[in-house]
Amino acid sequence: MSVMTRKHLVFAAAFVLAVMAGVVGVFFFNEPDTIDHTVAGESSDTSLGLVRDANVPDLPFADNPDPTVCGIPVQWGSDSPAWLNGMYEGELLQSEVLLYDSHQRFSLTGSAPHGSPVEILLFQENPVLDFYLVKTVGPDPQEGWIPAPFLSFDPVDVSATG
């Protein structure tokens, strides 16, 4: 090889190493800019760019403070009947029980009347508040996650609430 070719190889190798070092630096040492688009009073996970929809109400009981430590949903494994229950502490809070997109409750997927029979599809055990993925029984079935207090394993008396 000529001297000129060796210089080109050394230069090319140095250039490749410099580019690789820059790429590594960008990926490992550069923190991305995050913008919090949360409206006051809304829950969010800005690390994922997720914000709770405005029509998602607060729960009347404690929620999971850190969704990253929540359990992994598992198949329910029972065909025992269950019913939506909009009652909490003796008061009808949801005549239409709300169904959510996930245990983080970023948006609503639908609703069904208090006392509606449901099929449980999945269960998610969490540190504070467990959730169930349910599907309503009957025409026009709806599916969504509900917090455990809004699910009953005993038939719900709807006559006492209306």
What confidence tens digit (pLDDT) does each residue in 42-97 have? 344 445 567 899 999 999 999 998 888 899 999 998 988 999 999 999 999 999 99
What residues does 132 pair with on adjacent strands? 123, 146
Q: What is the CATH number of the domain that holds 114?
A: 2.30.30
- For the chain, the domain total comes to 1
What residues does 75 pair with on adjacent strands? 122
pTM flag (> 0.85): no
Has residue 61 been placed in a domain? yes
Q: How far apart are alpha carbons 39 and 83 in whole angstroms?
A: 34
Has residue 34 been placed in a domain? no
Q: Are 82 and 74 in contact (CB under 8 A)?
A: no
Question: Which structural domain, as residue segments, surrounds residue 63?
Answer: 57-152
